[in-house]
Amino acid sequence: MTSFATIFRRRRFLGMTVPEVTVAAAVASILALGLVTGAIFLQRAFQASIKYSRSQAMQIRLLDYIALDLRRATTASVSGATLTITLPDYYDAAGKPVDPTLSKGRVYYKSPTAAVTVRYFQQGGQVIRQEGTTQSVIADGVQDFQLTFVNQGQVVEVSVSFMPTFEQSGTGVRTGTTVYTRTLLRNLLQSS
């Protein structure tokens, strides 16, 4: 007869039994699956937060450009999703600033009829500012942006919204990302 101590010593040298290996493998597989799933989720969440932050930065840059031009505008018109404004020509042919002149109680640069036309519109995944025939990309990679321009006479309202990465549809989600600006056309009274 073998004693318990002898059986225990033999078992120690023999290793693990098949059921023990199966249970250990199952536990290790579940832990590995949890780690991989967690890593994938964290990576997706990180990429979505980067895109969200980038879209917000594009919104602010776009609204800053538009508001700057609207504050200087003498006229503004909206046609669909295109904003067209007229600015005084502040620079001469050499690109140097022009000193303003006072005529009939109004400030003019160059002559009262000298003006520059600027258009803002979305084309593909870009928002473009076109001054004369020169186009500049203000925001890039903004396929999901919605631009809205509303001309209210003396005030122009601009809104920009985008769809967050993890959302497929729904206007409630889009309105949560909408940024507005209302800009007074200060020079509109001067042009009339």
- DSSP class of 91: B
- Please state, in angstroms and rounded to a whole number, the distance separating the CA atoms of residues 84 and 150: 12
Give the pLDDT of residue 7: 60
Low-confidence ranges of the chain (pLDDT < 70): 1-15, 105-107, 111-113, 165-175, 188-192
Region of residue 101 (phi > 0: left; psi between -120 and 50: alpha; otherwise: beta): beta
Give the pLDDT of residue 141: 81
- Please state, in angstroms and rounded to a whole number, the distance separating the CA atoms of residues 61 and 138: 7
Give the pLDDT of residue 31: 95
- Please state, in angstroms and rounded to a whole number, the distance separating the CA atoms of residues 37 and 169: 25
Span 113-151, pLDDT tens digits: 678 899 999 988 889 999 988 999 998 888 778 888 888
Give the pLDDT of residue 95: 78
